[in-house]
Chains A and B, each alone.
Chain A
Amino acid sequence: MLTSSNTAVPLRDTAQPLLELSNVEVVYDRVFLAIKGVSLKIEQGQMIALLGSNGAGKSTTLKSISGLLAPERGLVTRGNLWFKGQDMLPLTPPKRVAAGLVHVLEGRRIFEHLTPEDNLLAAFPLRGSRQRYQELREQVFTYFPRLKERARTKSGYLSGGEQQMLAIGRALMTEPDLIMLDEPSLGLSPLLVQEIFEIIRKINEEQGMSVLLVEQNATAALAVVDYAYLLENGHVVMSGEAAVLRENPDVQEFYLGGAGKVDYLNVKHYRRRKRWLA
């Protein structure tokens, strides 16, 4: 575990994880403490979920990784962020993308007035070769055949699911080592969620690309990921293999809707037990 001193040298030993957050604290507007020391690790090729309820700090964690806090008056006030052994905190968001880290924003944010094809082209580096672009585009189209069918319509006219596919495809055009997805299931039908998650899993397996999936929909997320962190109130309260978490009674109760009847005495009891686990 890294201590929170800023004197650490930029490059560390070779047995490092792909991404490591250690004790990251984020403050919005200088007074509002949003996440209070989040630490997590992602190994090369791993698929990880970050679960939690509304306001737990999931999106804030992602934004601190991709560097998008500044427009929202947020600031990383403590902690370290290493990506491939490189300190990411001083880098601007475009530099972090160049380092191989890409963030698919919540709510898609595609360029509505461009066609899907132009959306993909917009994400491709300016100095890249035409051939590489075509390879990547074909790759995106094989993962998302529906995008190919609609490649020449305005993106604003795509359905919600297609827009989400386009947002993921656009992220793939930057050839990332780690793709971070913020609620890809937002507003999609259960079948479409399943389809998209399966495609993400396929990309993860075939490309060896690491995935960090932020989700409210814990059931769907735990079905595809290897490992998950549970975030609550700005803290990581639990983490473990997806299979283990699925069996955990607390997780079932609070995130998977397993228990059914609510008994207030037991809820209290569980809350206390969760503290212990954290």
Chain B
Amino acid sequence: MFYRLSGIHHTRYESARALWPVTADRRIVQGLLLLAVAAPFLLSDLYLTSYMLPWLIWTAAALSLTLLMGVAGQLHFGFAAVMAIGAYTSIHLTRAGVPFELALLGAGLMAALIGCLFGAAALRVKGLYLVMATLAMQYLVEWTIINVPAISGGAQATLSTPDVTFLFIPLQSDGALYYTALLWTVVVTLLIMNIKRSSFGRALVAVRDKDFAASVIGVNPLKYKLLAFFASSFLGGVTGAVLAFCYYQAVTPEQFGFNVSIQLVAMVLVGGLGSVIGAYLGAGFVLLLPIVLTNLLAFVAQFDLIPISFNLLSHIPLMVYGALIIGVILFEPLGLAKIYDNIRKYFLVWPFRHTQS
């Protein structure tokens, strides 16, 4: 089979601790990256800009959130607000003449700052109480954006993004937008994978699993909880800016509402908490599945086999989608990433059934 462990011997720590120590995994990643780079030439404009592009950006958002929720174990139900802060900051900065690259940094820092402010609640409360604190952030940020004209440009206003260049390439063509998003998602992916195998990542996991046990071995839970909020909010803020510039190209407060926060949580949960591949799968599931279901249903409805009213047609995908989310959580509580992992493990030990150690 393509997954083989035989013949893979690591004689140096560096190779044993590489991001993808198994050759087959490395090949798959290389292949997927190649496909992603070639996507503008392979896919039609419609597929590129309305499927691939949002999928990549929402994956980056889910990755930022999974760093906080999965790796550090701090629940966050207001992540759309973090992204909104990033989006609005970047737009105002570029309008003021700041280069886009610096505006992205500013967006991240502003989101991280405000995210930390609310994350400070995590120093005192856990679990459901933290959910309430982050929900408060969602509503406060939304309210502030809507009611301060200097930010939103008026209650009903839509702010369109100015024309910018990124690394000397004007962000006008679909290709440029796509590659910017791809670059950011790859950067976030590599960053999270490296955080997970670094001492910072291990400290976060220690705080997640048992914070008092972490503190008796010298990991300061307060510091690492705040750092988790900072890092995750920073990435979320930049992702919000990338989302605004590369996909929406105009922002309104409704684009970052409470339902978006819930969608992000759903992506992380369905994908698998704390898993990088889970963020990709979860974002794909939550984002693309409704579209696929709608298309599928429209396709079936063409044949007039069963009379489906127009109203029903728009509701069935939502119902199936809800059932599928419940199904995934029931069938595999650790998410799509675990399903992938089971399949992978099956092939790793194939043709045997089990490993013994």
Contact = CB atoms under 8 A, between A and B. Distances in A.
Nearest to A30: B342
B309 interface: no
B167 to A, nearest CB: 44
B356 interface: yes
Contacts of B342: 29-31
B355 interface: yes
Contact of B345 (A30, A33, A36): A30
B354 interface: yes
Contacts of B345: 29-31
Contact of B346 (A30, A32, A33): A30
Interface in B319-357: 342, 345-346, 348-349, 353-356
Interface of chain B, helix or strand or loop or mixed? helix
Contacts of A32: 354-356
For this complex, into which size category does the number of interface residues on chain B fall?
under 10
A161 B81 CA distance: 51
Contact of B349 (A31, A36, A234): A31
A27 B342 CA distance: 13
Interface string B213-245: 000000000000000000000000000000000
Nearest to B341: A29
Nearest to A33: B354
Contacts of B356: 32-33, 36, 234
A30 B344 CA distance: 11
B214 to A, nearest CB: 20
A36 B356 CA distance: 10
Contacts of B346: 30-31
A32 B348 CA distance: 12
Contacts of A33: 353-356
A32 B354 CA distance: 5
Contacts of A27: 353-354
Interface in A23-75: 27, 29-33, 36
Nearest to B354: A33
A32 B349 CA distance: 10
Interface in A127-155: none
Contacts of A31: 342, 345-346, 348-349, 354-355
A90 B342 CA distance: 24
A33 to B, nearest CB: 4
Nearest to A31: B345
Nearest to A28: B354
Contacts of B349: 31
B338 to A, nearest CB: 9
A234 B355 CA distance: 13
Nearest to B357: A32
B333 to A, nearest CB: 10
A188 to B, nearest CB: 22
Contacts of B355: 31-33
A30 B341 CA distance: 11
A243 B140 CA distance: 73
A251 B116 CA distance: 59
B22 to A, nearest CB: 15
A79 B355 CA distance: 19
Nearest to B333: A73
A271 to B, nearest CB: 18
Nearest to B356: A33
Contacts of B348: 31
Q: Which of B342, B349, B354 has the most CB of A within 10 A?
A: B354
Contacts of B353: 27, 33
A27 B354 CA distance: 8
A144 B12 CA distance: 57
Interface string B120-139: 00000000000000000000
Nearest to A234: B356
A232 to B, nearest CB: 13
Interface string A68-107: 0000000000000000000000000000000000000000
Contacts of A36: 356
A117 to B, nearest CB: 29
15 contacts: A27-B353, A27-B354, A29-B342, A30-B342, A30-B346, A31-B345, A31-B346, A31-B349, A31-B354, A31-B355, A32-B355, A33-B353, A33-B355, A33-B356, A36-B356
Interface of A: 27, 29-33, 36, 234
Shortest Cβ-Cβ A-B pairs, 4 listed: A33-B354, A31-B345, A33-B356, A31-B354
Given A31-B348, A33-B353, A33-B354, 8 more contacts: A27-B353, A30-B342, A30-B346, A31-B346, A32-B356, A33-B355, A36-B356, A234-B356
